[in-house]
Structures are given as structure tokens and as C-alpha cells.
Structure 1
Amino acid sequence: MKNIIITGTSRGIGYEMVSIFAKAGHRVLALSRNEEPVEKMKLENVTAISCDIGKKQDLAKVSDFVSSQWESVDILINNAGKLINKPFAELTSEDFDSVYKTNLMGVVELIRNILPYMRKEGHVVNISTMGGVQGSVKFPGLSAYSSSKAAVITLTELLAEEYKEAGPSFNVLALGAVQTEMLEEAFPGLKAPLSAEEMAAYIVNFSLTGNKFYNGKLLQVSSSTP
């Protein structure tokens, strides 16, 4: 039984991961601004906390839970994401701040809060997007989202180097098209080749075993464009 923290669990891939981990016998702390979808599943060994990872007071709730209930964390999956789909000329500085606050700074601050509870064998899995990969196909309207996710890729590589002796391991998955609400926001009407449940199963397996084979690596998990 491992202790696992997942962000962005109210819908899509994050929601499906909570169910898969719990049914496999692991303990899960599910973080999302809306905790009700996870609570309604009534899964054993799952705790849902209303948490905006962009707010320090909410992150303090996470640290308090871990220190009092678990004492250690085996896996942290930074899955939460915010997407604004607008032409660059229409994006405001507030739009960029909002997207980066969740997609980058929320990741930074949650990792900072959880690292003291992780051992060398632990695994931090950051979720990025193919649109954040250098040299990949880019799409108009996603400048804030994709650039913030590109920053997550570089952050992962840097943290893996900085913690390569003490651990934990850090890896980043750049996801292609998955049938989620966020995909519909980015590409209305597009039919993706993978369901949220299928991608969730892949990420679950990778988070449990991937650190045996990878550290500081970007894996492109995509069979299509986008």
C-alpha cells in the first residue's frame, strides 16, 4: 500500500486515477477545488480535500494532513491544469497569471511542501502536454497554457538533477489528445483516440514503476496530433 497525492481530481484523468489507485489498495489524497465528485465515489482509503494549489493556505491543509495522517508520501502526481483558449492579442496579463499560477507555481509550491515527506524511492510525476514539447506542433489560442506546461517540463528536468542523490525521482509525461472536458475546451468537436480512463491507467502504472527506469525524463504519451 502506497500513499499517493493527486491533483486535479474532480474530473477527467485525475478522477479516474483516484478510482484505479483506490481499487488497487493504495491510499489516496485527492486534491481539487471541488472535492464532491471524489467524495461521492465513497472509496475506501481515499481522502478528498478542497484545495486550490495556487493558494498557500490550501497547501498548508495538505501538509497538515500528511504530517498527521500519513507521515510519508510515496507518489505525487501533479495533474491539475488550467486552460484559457484565446488568441494571443486577446489574452490579458491576468489570464497569463491565472494559468501560470495553477500550471506552474501550483506545481512548484506543492512539490516544495511535499518533498520533506518523500524518500529516495518516491516518485513525482508531472503532467504536461505535447503542446509544451519543443519542436512539437503548436496551435493558436493556447499560448498561455502550452508555455506554462513547457515550463513544467524544464522544471522536472532540473529537479531530477538537483535531487538525483537524495531522491525522489522526477519525471514528466507530455500527453496527447485524450477525451476529456479540457480537450473539448481546447479543440471543440475533436474525437480523441484515448479515453480518460485509458490514460489514467497508463499514468497509474507509470507512477508505480517508472522511477525504476527513468529520472528527469520527458515521455511523450501520444498517438496522434494534437
Structure 2
Amino acid sequence: MRILITGASSGIGREVALALAADPGRQVLALARRSEPLETLAQEALNKYGRATISWLEFDLTSSDDSILLEAVEALGGVDILLNNAGLLINKPFEQLSEDDWRQQFDVNVFGPVRLIRLLLPWLQQSASAHIVNISSMGGFQGSSKFPGLSAYSASKAALANLTECLAEEFKDRHISVNCLALGAAQTEMLATAFPGFQAPLSAADMGDFVAWFATHGHRFFNGKILPVSVSTP
């Protein structure tokens, strides 16, 4: 099973990559903007499991050249699971959010996943168990509690959730499942940015274990679903 995950250098993404790498039948390609934490992640997996199950690629969803990603996926032999985990959060009151703040968050949180799905679609539709998992937030989940300062972030995550439903319908005849996890509070740097001083009921590793399980098994049970994964919000 070949899995590509974005935003793997820290937080939940890092823990998901480690959890996925525990199975010797999986190959994980970890993407992030910074190479140093990715190298550390790959070495940790090697030390922990005794085998090189994580490869990595320094890649910026908004600016890196398509060709370097395509080469890495070719070397992997294709992709069965795409985990769109990378995210950007800017915490500011609405009237202080600039147009650039809005654009940056939508570029990473919406257009980043769109870009990867378009690039990887030829491989995904060749897989017998293709699964696209979009990582959203309870802030983007319709009917959930909303919080000051997170309007642009929450709107971008709501767009990602709606995209999930659209693509599940569009790809269903290609046997590609598309689901979205709207994550609640887990202790990460991003949570600290959104809610300074708040202590989450779950660790990043707790959430990472669940996301890893869902990525590899959820396509058997769900398609086109936006699933809240939340003990508290925040």
C-alpha cells in the first residue's frame, strides 16, 4: 500500500506518518515544506521499526514544481491513498484579515489539495483501493461551534469539506473513495495558535493513530462523508 501524506513535518501529520509506517506492507511518502524535520521523521521510523518505510520530499503546495512530485510518486510506484493533511491557520479578527491572509489560507487548505488530486488522479484510478482523505476541522463543519479570529481558516476548511462531497460523486465510477475528517481539538502547534493556553483532551499521537486507521480502512465503509472526529471543539 502506497500512501502520500502532506504536512508531515509536525503535529498530527507527523504522527499519522509514523503510525502508517508501523505496517511493513506500507510505503509512506511524507511531504512538507522543510526537509530537516522530514529527515528526522524518516530516521525515527527507521530506528523504531527497523526498516525504511518512510521516504520524504520537500515540497511546497503553493510553489514547488510539479515534476519533482511526479518523479517521487513514480519512484514509489504509484499512490493508493492520498492524505491531504497540510493546513495553514492565521488567527486574526475579521476586520484585520487582509486579502493576502485569505488567499494564503485558501491556497494551502483548498487549492493545495485540488492540485495534488489533479496530479495524482492517473495513479489513484489505477489502484484497487484508492482513498482520498481530506483533513478538515470542526471549524469548517456545518452547525459546529465557531470562534472569533478563525473566519478565513474555517471558511477554507468548509470549502474542502464540500469539495469532498463533490469529488466522491464525480469519482465513484472510478472506484476512488473520497472522505473528509473534521478534526476537533488535539494538542498541536496549530491548536496553540488558534487557542493559546488551551489543553486539548487528545494528543497529536492519539489523533494520528485514528487518522492512520481511517486512511487505510475507511474507504470500505464510507464515501463522500464528512465525519466529525471530536471530543471537544476546542
TM over 0.5: yes
TM-score by length of 1: 0.96
Cα offsets for 1:135-174 (capped at 9, x unmatched): 1110010011110000000000000000111121000000
Tell me the equivalent position of 2:20: 21
Give the SS at the match of 2:173: coil
Q: Which residue of 2 aligns with 1:102?
A: 108
Structure 2 SS opposite 1:141: coil
Q: Kindly state the Cα deviation for residue 120 of structure 1 after the two structures are TM-superposed.
A: 4.7
The CA deviation at 1:49 is 0.8
Greater strand content? 1
Report if aligned partners of 2:183, 2:229 keep a CA contact under 8 Å in 1: yes
- Checking the alignment, whether the CA contact within 8 Å between 1:184 and 1:190 is kept in structure 2 is yes
User: What CA distance in whole angstroms lies between the structure 1 residues aligned with 2:233 and 2:205?
Assistant: 20
Identity across the alignment (%): 50
Structure 1 position 170 matched with structure 2 position 174:
no
Partner of 2:123: 117
Deviates more, 1:42-51 or 1:148-157: 42-51
Does 2:73 align with 1:66?
yes
| Structure 2: gaps (5+ residues) | 47-51
Q: Does 1:194 align with 2:193?
A: no
Displacement of 1:224 in angstroms is 1.2
Q: Which runs of 5+ in 1 are unaligned?
A: none
**RMSD (CA atoms):** 1.1
- TM-score when normalising by structure 2: 0.92
1:208 and 2:203 aligned = no
Determine if contact 1:120/1:169 at 8 Å carries over to the other structure.
Answer: no
| Aligned mates of 2:90, 2:56 — CA distance in 1 | 26
